[in-house]
Amino acid sequence: MSVSPDLNRRTLLRRAAAAGLLVTPAVGLLSACAGSTPNESDNNAGEKSNDNPFGLQDGSAVKVVIFNGGLGDAWAKEDQAIFSAKHPNVTVNMSSTQKIKTEEQPKMATQPSDLIMNSGADLMDLSTLVNEGAIEPLDDLLAAPAWDSEGTVADSLLPGTVSDGTFQGKFFVVYVAFTVWGNWYNGALFDREGWAPPKTFDEFFTLAPQIKAKGIAPYVYDAVHGYYPRWALMASIWKSAGKQAVVDIDNLKENAWRAEGILPALEAWEKLVKDKLVLPGKLDHTQSQQAWLDGKAAFIQVGTWLKNEMAATIPPGFEMKLSDYWGVTAADKAPKDVFAGAGEGFVVPSKAPNKAAAKEFLRAVVSKAGSAKFAELTKSLASTKGSGDNVQDPALATANELMKNAGSDLISVKLWDFYADLDKESQNLSQELMAGRLTAAQFVDKMQAAADKVAKDSSITKQTRNA
């Protein structure tokens, strides 16, 4: 996964069921958290030091919930070992699930888990958690000494990790994976056929007939989860229209969706669909990825969790390589900017019984040792600097190379974290466009109307993005 995202695939990854949050019984429970004061027991308060910055007390226990998706959970067990080596008298109760919202949200107003990896399709809506005071600000974690390196925790994190987890001026979410998104292809196939991976849509459209002549679909994508195609659409918009256009979209600026460069970006995807360059069938993420591995399609767009998620079915001799999203036109404003960022976010509930232990566990997760194990086991970068330095993996190497040649800004989008309604609408419209049931112009009109509706709704707390 996630290098969450989901991304934040599942940064990630992002709230496929966000709207469902608004109608579940747990919303009333979350509301009870608003304005709540920390209720951490004094029994969990120990003496503070550089090695124990939150005053974690021996004899206490911490409950940690891991999202067991494309990244698996083996890396988290390594973090548990690292934590327990320093705090052998603290009990770690770790569990793994893919049903984060279903299992954890009902407990948020009573006695929640201490640390929750809020990721996957069934995750809790982040904007609701923040707005209702259901999760703890973690600015003190950023200021704490790094576990096993110089400086603070904040100093140890890759660019964008802190800003991605910051809402309303406070740091709430610790994203532990650093995902690079783009177009994956089989290097062995391309070498055998003498094909060069395209850098622009025009080059792709020129290559596509050659690919089809070999009985291969030029492109495949997850047609079930709307946030998958949305990554590609938003990456193209950023490259074509530039960073400021996306910042304006996130900030609900009037007519932001009508900025110069946005329509051509979407029209390129409309042409890809109209030219019948997509593998037929409504495939989900693993089905589309398997079809690509089986040689039924030449390209698939997804993040760097791909290899770990599909490790069991990668054919012998298949060379996973990642290339950047294709440029749109010669007038692109940000052609070298790469879609990358932190994902797979951990949150600490405001009513967690042992917040000190939760924060200390997070220090271990983003430690030099923990992040190195993460990269080794998942073949994806962690959000800690240098995590992949000693990992020898060809697929990860192509992601690293892409990052080395990236522009000055990393592509990032906030609207799906800021507003649940826009998250849902943008997913639905992305699916409609990629299914050929919506034109690029109609996509723009509908997204602008949805943004206007949110902007005019005084009951919705507005978020602001500066960079």
Structure confidence by residue, pLDDT tens digits, 227-280: 999 999 999 999 999 999 999 999 999 999 999 999 999 999 999 999 999 999
Do the beta carbons of residue 305 and residue 248 sit within 8 Å? Answer: no
pLDDT at residue 117, rounded to an integer? 98
Give the C-alpha separation, 342 to 384, whole Å: 10
| Other Cβ atoms closer than 10 A to 199 | 14
CATH number of 18-179+340-410: 3.40.190.10
Global pTM reads 0.77
Burial 115-151 (b: 16+ CB within 10 A, else e): bbbbbbbbbbbbbbbbbbbbbbbbeebbebbbbebee
- E strands of 192-316, at which residues? 217-220, 297-303
* CA quadruple 147, 153, 156, 161: dihedral sign: positive
Residues 40, 46, 48, 54: is their CA dihedral positive or negative?
A: negative
Write out the two tokens for 366. 């983003």
Q: Give the DSSP per-residue string, 103-156.
A: HHGGGTTSS--SEEEE-SSS---HHHHHHTT-B---HHHHHSBPSSSSSBHHHH
Whether the CB-CB separation of 310 and 289 falls below 8 Å is answered with: yes
Q: Are 144 and 153 in contact (CB under 8 A)?
A: yes
Nearest alpha-carbon partner for 31 in 350, 260, 448, 322: 350
Residue 30: the pLDDT is 53
Q: Which residues have a Cβ under 8 Å from the Cβ of 356 and sit 6 or more positions away?
A: 40, 44, 45, 46, 54, 55, 56, 57, 60
Give the pLDDT score at 44. 55
185 alpha-carbon distance from chain centroid: 21
Distance CA 104, CA 201 (A): 43
- Residue 388 has which token pair? 């992949």
Question: What amino acid occupies position 123?
Answer: L
User: Whole-angstrom Cα distance, residue 243 to residue 410?
Assistant: 9
Angle of CA points 356, 78, 149, to nearest 5°: 65
**Which regions of the chain are under pLDDT 70?**
1-45
* CA gap 119, 345 in Å, rounded: 6
Give the closest residue to 137 by CA, choosing from 383, 363, 343, 359: 359
Domain boundaries, the chain: 18-179+340-410, 182-337
Query: How far apart are the C-alpha atoms of 119 and 7, rounded to whole Å?
Result: 9
Distance CA 227, CA 250 (A): 16
Q: CB neighbours of 253 closer than 8 A, spacing ≥ 6?
A: none
Would you say 390 and 406 are in contact if contact means Cβ atoms under 8 Å apart?
no
pLDDT at res. 166: 92
| CATH superfamily of this structure's domain 182-337 | Periplasmic binding protein-like II (3.40.190.10)
Q: Which two tokens stand for residue 459?
A: 């009951």
Classify burial at 239, counting beta carbons within 10 Å of its beta carbon; exposed 0-12, middle 13-18, buried 19 or more: buried
Tally of CB atoms within 10 A around 231: 29
Taking only the tens place, the pLDDT of each residue in 54-81 is 999 999 999 999 999 989 999 999 999 9
Using DSSP's 3-state secondary structure scheme, residue 299 falls into strand
Q: Report helix, strand or coil for 341.
A: strand
Beta carbons of 307 and 215 less than 8 angstroms apart: no
- Pick from 4, 78, 1: which is nearest to 307 by CA? 1
Residue 423's pLDDT is what?
A: 95
The candidate with the shortest Cα–Cα distance to 344, out of 289, 382, 371, 301, is: 382
Residue closest to 277 by CA, chosen among 403, 434, 410: 434
For helices 227-241 and 243-250, angle between their N-to-C axes, nearest 10 degrees: 130
Q: Which of 329, 211, 202, 325 lies closest to 276 in space, CA to CA?
A: 211
Fold match flag (18-179+340-410 vs 182-337): yes
